[in-house]
Structure 1
Amino acid sequence: MSIILPIAQRGEDVLKLIAAPVADTEFSTAWLQELAKALEATMLERNGVGIAAPQVYVSKRVIIVASRPNPRYPDAPEMEAITMVNPEIIAQSSQTVLGEEGCLSVPDERGQVSRAEQITVQFFSLKGEKIIQSFHGFPARIVQHEIDHLNGVLFVERI
């Protein structure tokens, strides 16, 4: 059973920081594995479709993207949860799409945010393997939202 972590709320300093990269020496460590497990458990417990480490008071560049239908996003497509370490958008479509977003750190507030329709992301697995993957539609929106957290930006700043 993984630990459910407290979620930082809008206005807290940790959400305004640019998160530090995960160092090469931290890949494959128990610490990183436990962080990923706790992030995923916390996200699932709160009906999130993504979560970033700064939201649980860990200012490191780790996010989880896990689109699936739930009470907060009933029309979300189903996908396997992906843990991304040090994610970076390396390409994005010029076509943008407006869509509704919410955030575990900004409860009870939703808004329309314009995001790239399609993105390509370079990231690392928990073991340090480099991965390049493309996303479009709602999963692309989640990735962009979570990477914003790593850069100290909340979705309400984009409305």
Structure 2
Amino acid sequence: MRMPAMGEIFTHRLRVRYSECDQQGVVFNAHYLSFYDVALTELWRAAIGPYTDAVETGYDLVVAEARIRFREGARFDELLDVRMPVVKLGVTSMIVQPEFRVDDRLIADGEVRHVFIDPAAKGKKEIPPDVRLALEPYLAEPDLGGAGPAG
């Protein structure tokens, strides 16, 4: 497996399917969180391995908060790049500020906060050391002018 450079931003590319577009001819807003989920799974696979291994080894991730700011609509058959800057690895949580782009056009951006949990007890759990180590190369500076919290 190739080791990422420190500060590397993982990017997953997908093609917009016709069924993902609404009557205005652009991607229906709810699909962006689904696109994010696909990109997170691929980031996980690249950094750590199959996501199913997480639950089997005693931890899972849940979404605690998600915000998406829509700038412009992606359209059928366009290639959409989902950039996944990890901007915080806390004790029990991580924050990703995804960007959705078609070429140089910023389509949407946002912030998603995940909490690590024990899948059996459903309570918060510290980020496992091996997971933290695998995700650290993907840490990026947070975009404080973007969709992140003020102050």
| TM-score of the two chains, using structure 1 as the length reference | 0.26
Greater relative contact order structure (CA < 8 Å, 6+ sep) = 2
- Where is the helix percentage greater, Structure 1 or Structure 2? 1
